[in-house]
Amino acid sequence: MKYRSLNANAPMVDFREATIRGQAPDKGLYFPMQIPQLSNSFLEALPSMDKTALALQIMQPYVGESIDTNSLEQIVKETVDFEFPLVKINQDIYSLELFHGPTLAFKDVGARFMSRCLGHFSKAAYNKTTVLVATSGDTGGAVANGFLGVDGVEVIILYPSGKVSPVQELQLTTCGQNIKALEVMGSFDDCQAMVKDAFMDKDLNGHLSLTSANSINVARWLPQQLYYFFAWQQWLQMGFTTAPVIAVPSGNFGNLCAGLMAHASGLPLQHFIAACNINDAVPAYLRTGQYQPKTAIPTISNAMDVGSPSNFVRILELFAQDHQKMAATMKGFTVSDAITQQTIAAVYQQYGYILDPHGAVAYYALESFQNNHPDAKGIILETAHPVKFPETVEAAIGKSIPIPASVLPLFQQSKKSVHMQANFAALKEWLLAQ
């Protein structure tokens, strides 16, 4: 498999090069030259496949010859060695729980896959790789956990000060070893802009071997397709014969874009919903055909506080820049903080199910869609454990959330971060001093 830059002014590369570079030299995102197509025999066998075999078949065409089959099988086995249960909320809405990994967030799959790919590549390299990543919440913890102790790789995480939850902050600031956290006095968009500028700076790239672990990196982005296959597999096992609508809480749009890739490869899903908080540049585009990035506004669903989503260019590419085609496959919804809180409370009172704020945005969006499509059954992607957002969730449901055993040790550790102003000059000075 070869990858091209969506800015169309850089050489094609293989999966290894795309992973190590993160972003093309012309500042474009890498995109596969072909989208692999699923065979009828694969779709027929899918309901009974184990997770490792399924993941290997999906990822192998994208990896190509960059990783041998035996090594790739071990990588995907470690990537998906936890559960992805599809849980019934009510007769029309089901929740695909993506928070059963080590950091209780959907980012675990992409982070684990990418870390193991880079670890594999580093065995043949002489220089240390520096992973530079911006986070609006869960990416940082997942990347920190996935890369912790990986030989030949140093991880530097930028996060917006005061704009991630306490558990999220502890997950990315307490690892030590090869993980460093930079606490930026600004927004996620500031962090993301600083990271992008770093990749384009000649001085830094002469000093460090940089790559990204955000969903701009193909090794972080592409494995997220697996969620949709796991959802479809369980949907069929439950006896459904009609494809579900999928509501995806969306910020940087890597997860939804991965679902659209799976759909383009032949996974028979019915429709997609881009469920956003008030940072809704994409829903606005779906309504109007005009795309206007915004300045991010803080909300209680903080992982979605992205005003200029990086992966939207990939979605545009999937639909050949055709607004009508995109709007026929995907609908966007904007959900306020007040409605998010009301949804958490209502779903708990009616069904006993505890949503996190991001899942609540998806639930409300799906329910709104079903009001106009009463026969549609659907799935929300529940992307983070509610314990990561205790103030919001506990206020809505009127009780404390039990803390998972895996989280308890975090509260015995001390946060370690480097404060930094929200500008690239400060980041460059710090990186050159390392």
Hey, which residues are catalytic here?
107
Q: Cα 261 to chain center, whole Å? A: 14
Q: Cα 351 to chain center, whole Å? A: 27
| φ/ψ bin of 82: left (φ > 0), alpha (ψ from -120 to 50), beta (otherwise) | beta
Q: CA-based angle 199:187:196, to the nearest 5?
A: 10
| 8-state DSSP, 384 | B
Residue 319, judged by CB atoms within 10 A of its CB (0-12, 13-18, 19+), counts as middle
Cβ–Cβ under 8 Å, residues 334 and 283? yes
Beta pairing partners, 160: 184
Q: Collapsing DSSP states into helix, strand and coil, what is residue 430?
A: helix
Q: How far apart, in whole angstroms, are the C-alpha atoms of residue 280 and residue 379?
A: 21
Cβ–Cβ under 8 Å, residues 251 and 264? no
User: Which candidate, 178, 180, 179, 112, places its Cα nearest to that of 151?
Assistant: 178
- Provide the angle, in degrees to the nearest 10, between the axes of the packed helices 69-79 and 51-63: 130
